[in-house]
Chains A and B, each alone.
Chain A
């Protein structure tokens, strides 16, 4: 199925809040965060859509992005069907103060580790996840590194880890200056 058809099917079934976006490098479906579990269940179980492979869950921090007014997080789901050979992209936004998204780990096992990573690195909380703990950073790490307002730690377990580069994390300038 072409992505346009899929998007219109979904928009038709789930009504308001959903918006199909077709211009840009990737056509995707915008949906409100609370709908994601029901939409994903439908995508997996409907025989014409049959999205059995969850390829990727990405989390993007929109704070400071040109053209954005809010500082939400965006969570992007890429799904694929191995039998029908089509792909679907879902994007949803959650506010920074309470970044809660229903978990889809019951639908695809893949989501288990992807959601843990999104929680670890971006701080998005997935409700209903069986084991939402850090996966990549150390268990006692403070903060969520991929956020745009992340503060680099000064030390970790007695190891000095402040680097002498630019404090805003960019490169440039002579090292050691």
Chain B
């Protein structure tokens, strides 16, 4: 049985830090695995750093201004400075707030994001754990964040935060339905729940990407993008944190490091949704140019990981672009979009995809007639 990346890393860590072998035998592997857990947390924090800088610069350029320019060349070190400032802030817990819940809430949100990170494939063998129920796992774990948000809203002892948390719970839970429908559509095309299998199913020319498999695949693509915007609570679906109405929604009362945990969780989730969109519809870590995809070794690994990061960051850019352009939709309009637009269209697309797979199994409609499909 091939060893997963986690186990490989764990043994490497034991080799690198021999003093760990002094501990009892039974603790070796769990401890090393716990240390490997630091890797996704670090990566997510770094993504948060880059994401915040991107957001400030992109919003600035859209709003005809410059953004951070002072700290470091072109303001690159701005987020670092902000992070240091946030760490140094006083930790305020409001009077009357539910202390244990207040402290746990950001942790839930962050843990939800880290757990999602576990299933993102960066390369064929470069994935934390290649679960054979990857898609199912993602859909299930995505809801942990909701618990964190509701806890934050309740524990803040603030009517406005409570309103924000209630809106958020309603929104996220509602949009998981179109999300699930799009996921199932992709699973139909790939024939498997495993994330690596899904990407492998799109190997070859970029016309093999699931987006181009049949004439209706753009519907799940758009639906997934809209639904993930709503899951992330980004504009135009940022009702839970509607600044102009609720000050800051469910995280009004959070300051300093606690607030920055929510913040980093949000940007990590943005990266994960971008990575997911590219994995499901746009070929994942494959560039779509066959000779580039066949490069092996370390260079190939870097190339493919870089491709996935590039696609994910492109979608982060699109999400930020949408945020600074569009106004906010109202609660009932948001539900209308979910239940009366995305779900029916998603179902119809699912049915058509199912029929297509029956008639032209494994073949994209771009390659019908003149070349056989990739599989």
Tell whether any CB of A sits under 8 Å from a CB of B in the complex. Answer: no
Residues of B within 8 A of A (CB): none
